[in-house]
């Protein structure tokens, strides 16, 4: 019984050696993104604008028109169809989706008010 303890401790330590491995032991691939100039629309609890920078992409995201903003709706960022987003004012969840030649990615963050600095998020790969 005593000889199993060192072996078990090696297994436990080894399982935490690379926190970026998924359940199959394959390295997970993500895409770092920065959100900035996040502003909430005081006239509509589901209205948000922000700037996103990720993978060489640099664009402003905003709903197309005030009367079209609704919970759960997905909007493209400006004229860039490669980036889409949704925002739910009730829980403050801002979801972002990005597609490029390397795959499709998604991520989210909670926003409860205007943010003057940057918010870093990791977009997880959706293509599996």
What does the domain layout of the chain look like in residue ranges?
A: 28-125
Tell me if the pTM is above 0.85: no
User: How far is Cα 92 from Cα 40, in angstroms, rounded to an integer?
Assistant: 10
- Write the Ramachandran bin of 116: left for phi over 0, alpha for psi from -120 to 50, otherwise beta: alpha
What is the helix (H) or strand (E) element at residue 6, kind and residue range? helix 4-15
Write down the pLDDT at residue 123.
95
CATH architecture of 28-125: Beta Barrel (2.40)
User: How far is Cα 86 from Cα 68, in angstroms, rounded to an integer?
Assistant: 12
* Contact predicate 61/51, CB 8 Å: yes
- Average predicted confidence (pLDDT) for the chain: 77
* Contact predicate 55/11, CB 8 Å: no
pLDDT in tens, 9-59: 333 333 333 333 344 444 456 899 999 999 988 887 778 899 999 988 899
18 phi and psi angles, rounded to 5 deg: -130, 100
Neighbours of 119 (CB within 10 A): 16
Write down the pLDDT at residue 68.
67
């Amino acid at each position: 019984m005593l000889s199993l303890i060192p072996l078990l401790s090696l297994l436990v330590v080894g399982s935490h050696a690379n926190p970026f491995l998924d359940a199959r032991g394959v390295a997970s691939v993500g895409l770092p993104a920065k959100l900035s100039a996040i502003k909430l629309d005081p006239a509509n609890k589901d209205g948000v604008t922000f700037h996103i920078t990720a993978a060489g992409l640099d664009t402003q995201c905003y709903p197309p028109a005030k009367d079209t903003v609704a919970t759960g709706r997905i909007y493209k960022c400006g004229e860039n169809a490669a980036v889409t987003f949704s925002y739910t004012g009730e829980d403050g969840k801002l979801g972002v989706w990005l597609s490029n030649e390397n795959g499709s990615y998604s991520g989210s963050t909670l926003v409860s008010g205007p943010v003057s600095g940057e918010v870093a998020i990791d977009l997880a790969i959706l293509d599996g």
